[in-house]
Amino acid sequence: MTDNRTLTCVEIVDNKLDTKSIAYLCHAVWECASINSFTLAGNEFTDEGLSIVIELLVATRHLHTVSLRDNRIRDVHGPKIAELLEQNRSITNLDLSYNQLGDTAAQYIGPALAENDRVRHLNLNWNCFRSVGVRLLTRNLNENIALRELTLKMNGLGIEGAGYVAKYLATNETLFSIDLSSNRIGDFGFELISKMVAKNYSLKEIKIGHNTVSTSGVYKVLEAFHRNKDSDLRILDFEGLYMDKKCLELIDAIKEERPHTYFVMHGTIERGTEHKTKELIRGIIDHDSPLEILRFYVEQTGSRLVDVFNIFDTEKNNAITKSDLVRGLEKINVIFTQEQVDILFDELDADKSGDIDFGELMAGDREARKNLRRKGKFHATAVNQTAVPDFVDI
């Protein structure tokens, strides 16, 4: 590989490389100046292995796209990621998704982002950033004028985290795309997002689907966009969210005024409504397994599996029907599309009897935990401090 002058992309995925192998690989990548894209994913780095990788990335000047997803990079590695952001001057696309970076790491990553003037696309999906970490990230991102796309899907931001992101975006003039999908953001969080949408004029795409919000919260965002005539939003992604007649009528009105605006919807339309807009993009179903998403939510709330089963088993006969599953998901505020419900039910109903017993739920949960552990989704302990909300003045 070191003598190759035409190789531009290297992807090493799910190989569980040891430290010695990583060292050899990094040396080869450093020697081959034609490589501009490097993916090293699913390898569960040791501390020494990650240090070798960061040393390569800091030293090289020919890599533009780097993915370190799914390597169990943890809070303790925050200083190393900060070193990468502070010292590398070539990487424009950085993927750190499916790791275990959280609020402690944000103490280092945040200031590094303030200094970085190269990274344009930053993927932090499926990490452990909560409100404290997001506050640190967004405060420092106020100093960053390079970033164009930030993805924070499935981090458990909640209301406060959404508020900090909204405050950051309310005055930001450089970010084009934000992904806040699957972050347990409820109606109040969507109200804060709507205040941002009413003020921002540079954002082109916002993804806020698969959150625990009512149609009222969705309507507020749509209404804010409708009022903001200077908004440059082109794509509003409401994947998996409920839509009522009022929302759909407003979407039609927006489409009349702004025909080049697209709405991604693959959720439930309230029964009895008629929607005539034909130009809507239909969102692609989420690639994350519904079973893994359910396990993630259970883990975040500290619930026991038996508690979840009892919520679903309304008849108390050790059998969950598909309708029981739908009602149970609504009770615990896990919003799935009908297709996701069908997938989840089929995954859990192992004997295809038409219902799910506790044993099948346990077996499915074990499989989900195994997959999440492989992907690095079990979360490290967050910083033990309370975030003081400072987003009320959005």
Q: What pLDDT does 302 receive?
A: 59
**How does residue 96 score in pLDDT terms, banded at 50, 70 and 90?**
very high
Q: Percentage of the chain surpassing pLDDT 70?
A: 85
Most confident range (mean pLDDT) of 175-179, 214-218, 246-250 is 175-179
* Minimum mean pLDDT range among 157-166, 204-213, 367-376: 367-376
Question: Which CATH number does 1-132 carry?
Answer: 3.80.10.10
The answer to which of 128-132, 272-276, 338-342 has the lowest mean pLDDT is 272-276
* Confidence band, pLDDT 50/70/90 cuts, at residue 140: very high
pLDDT at 280: 34
Average pLDDT over residues 358-372: 82
**In this predicted structure, what is the pLDDT of residue 300?**
55
200-241 tens-digit pLDDT: 999 999 999 999 899 999 999 999 999 999 999 999 999 888
Task: Return the CATH class of domain 290-375.
Answer: mainly alpha
Question: Mean of the pLDDT values across residues 41-62?
Answer: 91
Fold equal for 1-132 and 156-285: yes
Q: Each residue of 62-87: pLDDT tens digit?
A: 899 999 999 999 999 999 999 999 99
Q: Is the pLDDT of residue 268 over 70?
A: no
Given this model, what pLDDT does residue 306 score?
79
The pLDDT-based confidence of 362 (bands split at 50, 70, 90) is confident
pLDDT at residue 166 tops 80: yes
Structure tokens at 184: 């347990």
One-letter-per-residue 3-state SS of the chain: CCCCCCCCEEEEECCCCCHHHHHHHHHHHHHCCCCCEEEEECCCCCHHHHHHHHHHHHHCCCCCEEECCCCCCEHHHHHHHHHHHHHCCCCCEEECCCCECEHHHHHHHHHHHHHCCCCCEEECCCCECCHHHHHHHHHHHCCCCCCCEEECCCCCCHHHHHHHHHHHHHHCCCCCEEECCCCCCCHHHHHHHHHHHHHCCCCCEEECCCCCCCHHHHHHHHHHHHHCCCCCCCEEECCCCCECHHHHHHHHHHHHHCCCCEEEECCCECCCCCCCCCCCEECCCCCCCHHHHHHHHHHHHCCCHHHHHHHHCCCCCCCECHHHHHHHHHHCCCCCCHHHHHHHHHHHCCCCCCCECHHHHHHHHHHHHHHHHHHCCCCCCCCCCCCCCCCCCC
- The domain 156-285 having CATH identifier 3.80.10.10: the answer here is yes
Q: Is the pLDDT of residue 130 over 60?
A: yes
pLDDT band of 379, cuts 50, 70, 90: very low
Domain ranges for the chain, please list them: 1-132, 156-285, 290-375
Handedness of CA 104, 136, 237, 70 (dihedral sign): negative
Averaged over 373-387, what is the pLDDT?
A: 44
